[in-house]
């Protein structure tokens, strides 16, 4: 199930770090290779920057464009981190770190395709940017997975006999599996009882609280990692 809003929160915090770093590194590259950049501007855009003075003005415009690139990239990334949160269990990998890296690769790939990863100003600078971008994206994925884990809790759902009773959470059958939920969230739990069986109540442990343990349909609150078990038996 995952949590869309936990993904957005994790993506916002890690995204500030990620896109701020990309903008800062690009600015450092531009100033470090300023003579090459000015020469490239004069040669590539002679109609707009025919002189050194105009090339300097264009250079300042490029530097000023970096926060705009970071802004666009940040809001584009929210789409991917929202998907990451909502479909967390479907992402490859078993740990938040691996899943976070998968989401980070998706964001990094989109940035590269849209030209928002950085400004190319020569072979050497492009190579340095590529190395930085790969390492920075890896760190972004680690932060993304770590923050998501911080804002969510894992609950395992069990029954005494899955043929007798199934566990439905918000309408989804999670019998025998574990799912992540936003911390301090509430959900509807329903015991789907097979014909010829009876429901005997809920047992919970850890950070799972059941509002009406004897009711087949109730509300649960997830405040920590825990377990929810539906009890059932065959009718005599």
Q: What is the pLDDT of residues 71-105, one digit of tens each?
A: 999 999 999 999 999 999 999 998 999 999 999 99
For the chain, what are the domain ranges? Answer: 4-151, 160-234
CA dihedral 134→138→140→145, nearest 10 degrees, is 160
Gyration radius of the chain's alpha carbons = 26
Amino acid 47: pLDDT? 59
Model confidence pLDDT, tens digit, residues 11-65: 999 999 999 999 999 999 888 888 877 777 667 665 556 555 566 777 787 888 8
Q: How far is C-alpha 177 from the geometric centre of its chain's CA atoms?
A: 22
Percent of the chain with pLDDT over 70: 91
DSSP 198: E
pTM, two decimal places: 0.85
Is residue 207 pLDDT above 70, yes or no?
A: yes
Kindly report the backbone phi and psi dihedral angles of residue 142, in degrees, each rounded to the nearest multiple of 5, phi listed first. -65, -45
């Amino acid at each position: 199930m995952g949590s869309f809003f936990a993904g957005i929160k994790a993506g916002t915090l890690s995204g500030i770090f990620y896109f701020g770093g990309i903008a800062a590194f690009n600015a450092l590259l531009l100033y470090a290779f300023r003579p090459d950049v000015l020469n490239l501007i004069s040669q590539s855009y002679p109609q707009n920057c025919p002189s050194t003075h105009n090339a300097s003005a264009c250079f300042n415009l490029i530097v000023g464009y970096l926060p705009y690139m970071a802004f666009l990239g940040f809001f584009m990334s929210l789409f991917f981190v929202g998907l990451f949160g909502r479909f967390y269990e479907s992402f490859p990998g078993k740990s938040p770190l691996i899943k976070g890296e998968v989401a980070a690769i998706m964001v990094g790939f989109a940035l590269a395709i849209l030209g928002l990863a950085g400004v190319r100003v020569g072979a050497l600078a492009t190579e340095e940017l590529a190395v930085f971008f790969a390492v920075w994206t890896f760190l972004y994925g680690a932060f993304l997975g770590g923050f998501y884990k911080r804002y969510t809790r894992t609950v395992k759902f069990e029954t005494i006999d899955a043929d007798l009773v199934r566990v439905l959470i918000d309408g989804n059958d999670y019998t025998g599996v574990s799912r992540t939920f936003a911390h301090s969230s509430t959900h509807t739990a329903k015991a789907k009882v097979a014909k010829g069986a009876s429901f005997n109540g809920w047992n919970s442990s850890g950070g799972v609280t059941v509002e009406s343990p004897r009711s087949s349909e109730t509300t649960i609150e997830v405040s920590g990692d825990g377990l929810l078990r539906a009890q059932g038996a065959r009718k005599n």
